[in-house]
């Protein structure tokens, strides 16, 4: 018998937000939005796909689909050993998040001046994952507190640095100008077998006016007076390193990511990729969008920078290719950027209902997300002809 019912089928809603940094993980944001959607449309099929762009929350987003989460001991930006999370995905890929090891929000790691911090801990993490058999690495580069050109990472993997007198030079930004000789003969041989993907939305070179120090250094504590000497030190370090390793990467897009950590990874043969694109591939965002009616994405705060490779923008681009409309639901929206944002999103909304403190907004974020998503879903249902 032919079904003559005219009742619309329940919508399929894909929810793919980034984390609200320092407040909620991407999975928590997605779950709260999902609860709001189902409160408004009980029969809705909700597909949660938390996303990230290589910064804080990348590990959580990638682990949403499953895998083994590990805690390892490695050095923070101040050189002190501390526990940090890493992961092994179902396909065997090892995930390292720079923000979780040498992050800008780590009070212990940032207790010393930026010119003394290093990325030794990233090398520690790679060594321990190599010991576990990992040969494919996904390294998220956002949110670091370091500006050492990745010298610490290289040192932890066996590269040695010397001054003109033959004395060892520690891999710290303040000392890189002393490096006169590099010995890369001791690099862990397993690194040569490994495939490394450096994930970031940053395409800056290592040095110069748009390099790591000039652009990102100030937010890490680099003073205006330090920018030029630290930038020159990185340029000098790169010149000596590249002569020894027979490879050039200082001018490559992404070399300036994470204070030059991107540069060190490129020198090890890494492939540089958009963090959001890489995460979208691994979480199966395109598959989730197949047959979907609506995508909701968002982040802690959206502005014009969102359109430069941030996770919500990449999600919206994937949805557009699939013919799925996208709504942006973020903690805050820069009003001056609305004209630019609405070119990529079918509606841009903030979860804040009225004046209040940032502390209250953070504390109430789950309920604010749920309530906002419910109201948007009611509007969407009405526009779609539902009741």
What is the residue-wise DSSP string for 14-62?
EE-PPPBTTTB-HHHHHHHHHHHHHHHSTT-EEEE-----SSTTHHHHH
Written in H, E and C, the secondary structure of 214-280 is HHHHHHHCCCHHHHHHHHHHHHHHHHHHHHHHCCCCCCCCCCCHHHHHHHHHHHCCCEEEEHHHHHH
Count of other CB atoms within 10 angstroms of residue 318: 25
Look at residue 1 and tell me whether its pLDDT is greater than 80: no
What local confidence, expressed as pLDDT, does residue 8 receive?
66
Look at residue 157 and tell me whether its pLDDT is greater than 50: yes
Look at residue 43 and tell me whether its pLDDT is greater than 60: yes
What local confidence, expressed as pLDDT, does residue 29 receive?
95
Would you call 284 helix, strand, or coil by DSSP?
coil
Percent of all residues in the chain with a pLDDT value above 70, rounded to a whole number: 97
Look at residue 145 and tell me whether its pLDDT is greater than 60: yes
Look at residue 386 and tell me whether its pLDDT is greater than 60: no
Confirm whether pTM is higher than 0.85: yes
Contacts of 189 (CB under 8 A, 6+ apart): none
What local confidence, expressed as pLDDT, does residue 383 receive?
74
Look at residue 278 and tell me whether its pLDDT is greater than 80: yes
- Whole-number Å distance between alpha carbons of 289 and 167: 57
What does pLDDT average to over the chain?
93
Count of other CB atoms within 10 angstroms of residue 290: 12
Kindly give the interhelix angle for 365-383 and 26-40, rounded to the nearest 10 degrees.
Answer: 40
What local confidence, expressed as pLDDT, does residue 219 receive?
95
Question: Per-residue pLDDT averaged across 51-60, rounded?
Answer: 92
Buried b (16+ CB within 10 A) or exposed e, 34-63: bbbbbbbbeebbbbbbbbbbbbbbbbbbbb
Look at residue 88 and tell me whether its pLDDT is greater than 70: yes
**Tens-digit pLDDT profile for residues 3-22:** 444 456 789 999 999 999 87
**Cα angle, residue 12 at apex, residues 6 and 14 outer, rounded to 5°:** 165
**Tens-digit pLDDT profile for residues 339-380:** 999 999 999 999 988 787 888 888 889 999 999 999 999 988
What local confidence, expressed as pLDDT, does residue 353 receive?
81
Structural tokens at position 324: 């799925």
What local confidence, expressed as pLDDT, does residue 2 receive?
38
CB 264, CB 151: distance < 8 Å? yes
Q: Which of 3-12, 106-115, 230-239 has the lowest mean pLDDT?
A: 3-12
Residue whose tokens read 């490559």 = 252
**Tens-digit pLDDT profile for residues 246-271:** 999 999 999 999 999 999 999 999 99
Residue whose tokens read 């540069």 = 263
Look at residue 385 and tell me whether its pLDDT is greater than 70: no
Chain center to CA of 139: 9
Q: Which of 9-13, 180-184, 239-243, 274-278 has the lowest mean pLDDT?
A: 9-13
More confident residue, 201 or 168: 168
Question: Per-residue pLDDT averaged across 194-210, rounded?
Answer: 94
Quote the radius of gyration of the chain (alpha carbons, Å). 23
What burial class does residue 186 get, using C-beta atoms within 10 Å of its C-beta: 0-12 exposed, 13-18 middle, 19+ buried? exposed
- Whole-number Å distance between alpha carbons of 65 and 26: 13
Look at residue 387 and tell me whether its pLDDT is greater than 50: no
More confident residue, 361 or 69: 69
């Amino acid at each position: 018998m032919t079904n003559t019912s005219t009742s619309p089928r329940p919508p399929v809603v894909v929810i793919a937000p980034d984390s609200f940094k320092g407040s909620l993980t991407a999975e928590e944001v997605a779950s709260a939005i999902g609860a709001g959607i189902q409160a408004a449309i009980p029969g809705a099929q909700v597909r949660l796909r938390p996303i990230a762009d290589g910064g804080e929350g990348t590990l959580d987003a990638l682990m949403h689909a499953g895998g083994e989460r590990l805690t390892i001991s490695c050095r923070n930006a101040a050189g002190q050993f501390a526990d940090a999370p890493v992961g092994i995905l179902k396909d065997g890929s090892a995930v390292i998040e720079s923000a979780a090891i040498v992050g800008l929000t780590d009070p212990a790691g940032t207790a010393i001046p930026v010119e003394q911090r290093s990325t030794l801990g990233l090398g520690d993490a790679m060594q321990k994952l190599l010991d576990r058999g990992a040969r494919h690495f996904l390294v998220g580069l956002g949110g670091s507190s370091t500006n050492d050109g990745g010298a610490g990472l290289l040192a932890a993997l066996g590269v040695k640095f010397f001054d003109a007198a033959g004395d060892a030079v520690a891999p710290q930004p303040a000392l890189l100008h002393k490096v006169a000789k590099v010995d890369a003969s001791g690099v862990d041989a397993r690194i040569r077998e490994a495939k490394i993907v450096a994930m970031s939305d940053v395409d800056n070179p290592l040095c110069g006016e748009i390099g790591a120090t000039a652009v990102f250094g100030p937010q890490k504590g680099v003073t205006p007076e330090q920018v030029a000497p630290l930038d020159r030190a990185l340029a000098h370090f790169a010149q000596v390193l590249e002569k020894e390793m027979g490879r050039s990467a200082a001018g490559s897009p992404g070399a300036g990511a994470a204070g030059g950590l991107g540069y060190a990874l490129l020198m090890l043969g890494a492939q540089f990729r958009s963090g959001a694109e890489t995460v979208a591939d691994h979480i199966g965002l395109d598959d989730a969008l197949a047959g979907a009616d609506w995508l909701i994405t968002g982040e802690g705060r959206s502005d014009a920078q969102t359109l430069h490779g941030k996770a919500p923008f990449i999600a919206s681009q994937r949805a557009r290719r699939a013919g799925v409309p996208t709504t942006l639901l973020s903690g805050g929206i820069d009003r001056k950027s609305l004209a630019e944002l609405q070119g990529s999103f079918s509606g841009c909304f903030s979860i804040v209902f009225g004046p209040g403190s940032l502390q209250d907004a953070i504390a109430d974020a789950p309920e604010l997300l749920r309530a906002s998503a419910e109201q948007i879903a009611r509007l969407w249902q009405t526009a779609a002809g539902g009741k």
